[in-house]
Chain A
Amino acid sequence: KAGVTQTPRYLIKTRGQQVTLSCSPISGHRSVSWYQQTPGQGLQFLFEYFSETQRNKGNFPGRFSGRQFSNSRSEMNVSTLELGDSALYLCASSLLAENTEAFFGQGTRLTVV
C-alpha cells in the first residue's frame, strides 16, 4: 500500500510569489491535515480536511489556504510568500474522522528567497 505522497519534494520561490503544494493520502483515507515544521516553532497545525470540507484551522494568516478533492487528494496554497514561510510542509492522512492515527508524508521543503 502506497504511503502519503507529497509533491514536489523541494521548491524555491521568490518573495511575493504564490505556491501550491500537493498531497495524496493513503488509499481509503478521507482525512488530510497540513502542518508547518520550522526549527524555531516546531510542528504547527495549518488545517484539516475531511470529505472535501475544511473542519479545523490553525492560527495562520489567510494567505494560507487549502482544498480537498473528491478523491481525497489535497492541495495547500500560500499566496504573497514571505521569507518566514520557508519551512517543511507536512501532510498527514487518517483513515476516518474517528481514527485519529495520522500518517505523515515526506514533506515539501519550501525555501523563499
Chain B
Amino acid sequence: GENVEQHPSTLSVQEGDSAVIKCTYSDSASNYFPWYKQELGKRPQLIIDIRSNVGEKKDQRIAVTLNKTAKHFSLHITETQPEDSAVYFCAATVYSGGGADGLTFGKGTHLIIQP
C-alpha cells in the first residue's frame, strides 16, 4: 500500500518569511495529492491540491509542486501570517475511473509563525 512521509514534524518561521513542507510517497500509481490544514480543535480543511498531470499549482500565497520522478511533493507558503499557524497534512491517493482509494496521510507538520 501507499506510504507517505512528511517533514519536518515542527517548523517555526518568522512572520513574513516563507515556509516549505515536504512529502514523499511510495506508490507510483498515486495521482492525487491534497494538502489539509487543521487548526487546534477543528476539522481538517483542504487548502490546495494537485493532480499528477500538473507540476505546480498556486493559489495566492500557497503553492504546491510535484515531482513524479522523485515521488515527492511540497507545500510552499509565502509571506506567512499568524493565522497560518496550524498543523498541515499532506496526502496521496490513487484515483481511477472507479473512484478514489482512501487518502494516505503524512504524520503532519506543526507550523508555528513567530511574531
Q: What residues of chain A have their CB less than 8 Å away from a CB belonging to chain B?
A: 4, 31, 33, 35, 42-48, 50, 55-56, 58-59, 90, 94, 97-98, 100-107
Find B43's partner among A33, A97, A100, A106 (CB 8 Å cutoff): A106
B103 within 8 A of partner (CB): yes
Residues of B within 8 A of A56 (CB): 99-102
Residues from chain B with a CB closer than 8 A to the CB of A45 are 101-104
A-B contact count (CB 8 A): 68
Would you call B46 and A101 a contact (CB within 8 A)? yes
Min C-beta distance of A48 to chain B, whole Å:
6
Q: Closest residue of chain B to A47, judged by CB? A: B102
Contact (A43, B89) CB under 8 Å given A33-B103, A107-B43: yes
Q: List chain B residues, Cβ under 8 A from A33.
A: 102-103
Bound: A105/B74 CA distance, A: 26
Q: Is the CB of B34 within 8 A of A42?
A: no
B contacts with A, residue count (CB < 8 A):
25
A28 and B44 alpha carbons, distance in the complex (Å): 21
The answer to whether A43 touches B105 (Cβ under 8 A) is yes
The reply to whether B100 and A97 form a contact with Cβ atoms under 8 Å apart is: yes
Instruction: List B34-52 residues whose CB lies under 8 Å from chain A.
Output: 34, 36, 42-46, 49
A-B contact pairs, 30 of them (CB 8 A): A4-B43, A31-B99, A33-B102, A33-B103, A35-B102, A35-B103, A42-B89, A42-B108, A43-B89, A43-B91, A43-B103, A43-B105, A43-B108, A45-B103, A46-B102, A48-B99, A48-B100, A48-B102, A50-B99, A55-B99, A58-B102, A59-B1, A98-B99, A100-B49, A100-B100, A102-B34, A102-B46, A103-B46, A104-B44, A104-B45
